[in-house]
């Protein structure tokens, strides 16, 4: 049955695991995913088919295979890397393939006339992307990127596959030691909610602020 004492004891343990591991992997992984995703989206549009096709295939492959498999392959393939590093890289690369699709949709939503106006002004490709297309496309993409970041955040318990003691692993251990899981798991769930919800609200605010 529910034990208030245990509930209070588990809080600091899980908050610590949450801050030190879950948050670090999420923030670093999401930043990596957002940056790489943009690179993929632009590369798929600008590269000749000879290079673009293989890149597209690799991205499809990553997107269509399970995250835990990637974690295990990279973890055991590159033993010199720490679990945290593997986590950040794998989460970042995996989610970059989703985010690149979001960017692509954002880029596709820019009307043809914008590209044509840029060309009529002789703007070079780099300037067209940076000054004209991306400021508009990324604004359209932000809500979707935020959703992917939250999805990634909720996937962090997969780190258990490579023995990184993130929050849910910590909760399981704590529950095992005290022969009661409900308190620790409730705290873990609440912490996820406490972090996800304000992020979602923040994204919505940001989106409004960026509207012109």
Partner 1 sequence: MPTDQTTPPTADGGTPRIRFEDVRKKFGRTTVLQDLNFSVDRGERVTLIGPSGSGKTTILRLLMTLESLTGGYIWVDGDPLTHDRRNGKRVELRNKEVAKVRKRIGMVFQQFNLFPNMTVVQNIVEAPVHVLGQSQEEANENALSLLDRVGLRHRADAHPTELSGGQQQRVAIARALAMDPEILLLDEVTSALDPELVGDVLRVLEDVAASTDITMLIVTHEMQFAKDVSQRVMMFDGGKILEEAPPEQLFSDPQHERTQKFLEAVV
Residue window 38-67: x/- pattern of binding to partner 1, with contact defined by CB under 8 A: ------------------------------
Q: CB of 132: closest distance to partner 1 in angstroms?
A: 5
Q: CB of 71: closest distance to partner 1 in angstroms?
A: 39
Q: Which of 43, 47, 72, 132 binds partner 1 (CB under 8 A)?
A: 132
Q: What is the 3-state secondary structure (H, E, C) of the chain?
A: CCCHHHHHHHHHHHHHHHHHHHHHHHHHHHHHHHHHHHHHHHHHHHCCHHHHHHHHHHHHHHHCCCHHHHHHHHHHHCCCCCHHHHHHHHHHHHHHHHHHHHHHHHHHCCCHHHHHHHHHCCCCHHHHHHHHHHHHHHHHHHHHHHHHHHHHHHHHHHHHHHCCCCHHHHHHHHHHHCCCCHHHHHHHHHHHHHHHHHHHHHHHHHHHHHCC
**Is 127 among the residues that bind partner 1 (CB under 8 A)?**
yes
Q: CB of 140: closest distance to partner 1 in angstroms?
A: 11
**Is 16 among the residues that bind partner 1 (CB under 8 A)?**
no
Residue window 95-114: x/- pattern of binding to partner 1, with contact defined by CB under 8 A: ----------------x-xx
Q: Looking at 19-27, 34-42, 97-105, 119-127, which segment touches partner 1 (CB under 8 A)?
A: 119-127
Q: Which of 5, 12, 124, 179 binds partner 1 (CB under 8 A)?
A: 124
**Is 206 among the residues that bind partner 1 (CB under 8 A)?**
no
Cβ proximity to partner 1: between 80 and 122 the closer is: 122
The number of residues that bind partner 1 (CB under 8 A) is 18
Name every residue whose Cβ is closer than 8 Å to that of residue 176 and which is 6 or more positions away in sequence.
none
Q: Which of 117, 151, 190, 193 binds partner 1 (CB under 8 A)?
A: 117
Cα 168 to the center of its chain, rounded Å? 18
Give the separation between CA 94 and CA 91, rounded to whole angstroms: 5
Q: Looking at 24-32, 53-61, 122-130, 186-194, which segment touches partner 1 (CB under 8 A)?
A: 122-130
**Cβ–Cβ < 8 Å for 24, 84:** yes
Question: Which residues sit at the interface with partner 1, rule CB under 8 A?
Answer: 111, 113-114, 116-117, 119-124, 127, 131-132, 135-136, 139, 212
């Amino acid at each position: 049955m529910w034990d208030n004492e245990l509930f209070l004891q588990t809080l600091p343990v899980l908050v610590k695991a949450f801050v030190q591991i879950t948050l670090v992997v999420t923030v670093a992984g999401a930043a990596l995913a957002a940056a790489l995703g943009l690179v993929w989206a632009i590369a798929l549009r600008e590269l000749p088919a000879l290079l673009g096709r293989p890149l597209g295939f690799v991205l499809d492959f990553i997107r269509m295979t399970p995250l835990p498999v990637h974690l295990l392959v990279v973890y055991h393939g590159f033993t010199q890397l720490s679990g945290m590093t593997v986590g950040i890289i794998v989460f970042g690369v995996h989610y970059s393939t989703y985010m690149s699709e979001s960017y692509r949709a954002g880029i596709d939503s820019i009307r043809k006339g914008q590209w044509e106006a840029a060309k009529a002004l002789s703007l070079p490709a780099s300037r067209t992307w940076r000054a004209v297309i991306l400021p508009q496309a990324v604004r359209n993409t932000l809500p979707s990127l935020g959703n992917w970041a939250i999805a990634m955040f909720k996937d962090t318990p997969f780190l258990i596959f490579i023995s990184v003691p993130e929050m849910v692993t910590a909760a399981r251990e704590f529950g095992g030691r005290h022969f009661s899981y409900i308190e620790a798991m409730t705290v873990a769930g609440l912490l996820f909610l406490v972090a996800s919800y304000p992020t979602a609200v923040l994204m919505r605010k940001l989106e409004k602020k960026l509207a012109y």
